[in-house]
Amino acid sequence: MKYPLNVTSEIGVLRTVLLHRPGREVENLTPDTLERLLFDDIPFLPVVQKEHDYFASTLQNRGIEVLYLEKLVSETLSTDELRKQFINQILSESKLSSTVLEDQLREYLITLSADKLVDTVMVGIQKKEMNFKSSNHLSEMMLETNPFYMDPMPNLYFTRDPAAVIGNGISINRMNRVARQRESLFLDYIIKYHPRFAKANIPIWFDRTASHPMEGGDQLVLSSDVIAIGVSDRTSPQAIEEMAVNIFENQKDIKKVLAIEIPKKRAFMHLDTVFTMVDYDKFTIHPEIQGEDGSMNIYILEKGKEKGSCTITRKTDLFATLKDVLKLKDVALIPCGGGDPIAAAREQWNDGSNTLAIAPGVVVTYDRNYVSNSVIRSYGVEVVEVLSSELSRGRGGPRCMSMPINRDNL
């Protein structure tokens, strides 16, 4: 392969995937920080790790190479120069309350090995762990109730969102919520400095320094020439257009970008929480994202005649649009919960529509979504169930927990 990245569909046989095993950052959640750190509950760490290990083993047993985020970052920060650079950047992005505190944290972090540094930054730095000088700064005194100098990153096990491989390039995303914005810094360093990726001159379709937010859960590679991006609570239309222009100007394969608008609500966080591809002509869908007549707002972006421009065509029928852009005779939209209003709402909340395709017609799902899983099987799709009692508390399913790096082309 020309590049170490290759994802030209949602369903091509999965060869390599990036995961993050939940760590002590999950135990640093408290009731007072749940809303700020984007959780609805506190997972029980030993069980959430057991379930994640089961998920990883399920993929490995299918011959899929599993890479771990924490290991790649540690391998990336292999020199003193890179560690210093990373420390300065993570401190800057942590928006600390004073330069005095920043200097003290820098002095501490610089003494750590790469492994310990990565773990510390991910887990967060509690005030009780540090013997720092007291400060008379008002900003620090007002934050005395916060037990952390540096917040933990409990959302890291959802590796789908900070970056997404599209074709042979990557979108390194500007995360919408402050609690997650530092996460994409890890991917930025891996792509630029890790020996597996650094020499490949990988195209960056979207950069984390962009003005408008985009997250990977909204980014779906439908085929080698069509991608779909959700206009959601976390991804803005401006970001979609910016990336579409960059893609059209810098490669020739991808011809269309579908911007699919979904309701902006917590339950429908990203496009992949309500819509995923499971086979060449089959998709899961949560019926509530469509109007009573089945209509939606769908915008097809294509390269414009003038440099840096797009032509935009509005559609309202998802079924017809998918058939058209993917050149299919027919399309099956598989309803979450079988379309039952109670089962659909319950199982969508637990990511019943959030499937990870590991081959055409083979998907990984949460075992708790038994109604949706049964319906998906009735369409001839193989469903591989994984444990989910604690993992699901984070509001993300198997697709959310995985960042495909390599898939076979269809």
279-299: per-residue pLDDT in tens?
999 999 998 888 778 889 999
pLDDT, residue 28, reads: 94
Q: For residue 139, is pLDDT > 70?
A: no
Q: What is the pLDDT of residue 1?
A: 45
DSSP state of 13: P
**Average pLDDT, stretch 336-350?**
90
Query: Two tokens at 291?
Result: 């109007």
pLDDT digits (tens, 9 = 90+) for 174-207: 999 999 999 999 999 999 999 999 999 999 999 9
Q: Which pLDDT belongs to residue 136?
A: 57
Q: What is the DSSP letter of 344?
A: H
Give the Cα separation of 152 and 145 in Å (integer). Answer: 16
Helix (H, G, I), strand (E, B) or coil at 43: coil
Distance CA 22, CA 157 (A): 6
Q: For 22-44, how does the pLDDT look when each residue is reduced to its tens digit (9 = 90+)?
A: 999 999 999 988 999 999 899 99
User: What separation in angstroms does the CA of 100 have from each of 120, 139, 153, 362, 402?
Assistant: 20, 12, 23, 53, 38
- For residue 310, the model assigns a pLDDT of 94
As a residue count, the chain comes to 410
pLDDT at 144 over 80: no
Specify whether the CB–CB gap between 33 and 379 falls below 8 A: no
**Terminal-to-terminal C-alpha distance of the chain:** 15
302: Cβ contacts below 8 Å, ≥ 6 apart: 248, 255, 256, 257, 310, 311, 312, 313
Mean pLDDT of the chain: 93
Q: What pLDDT score does 143 carry?
A: 53
Is the pLDDT assigned to residue 266 strictly greater than 80?
Answer: no
Rounded to 5 degrees, φ, ψ at 144 are -60, -25
> Residue 363 — very low, low, confident or very high, per pLDDT cuts 50/70/90?
very high
The catalytic residues are 400
Q: Average pLDDT of 387-405?
A: 94
pLDDT band at 79 (very low <50, low <70, confident <90, very high): very high
- For residue 149, the cross-strand partners are none
Q: Are 233 and 269 in contact (CB under 8 A)?
A: yes
Rounded CA separation 257/312 (Å): 10
Task: Name the 3-class secondary structure at 152.
Answer: coil
Predicted confidence band of residue 386 (pLDDT cuts 50, 70, 90):
very high
pLDDT of residue 135: 56
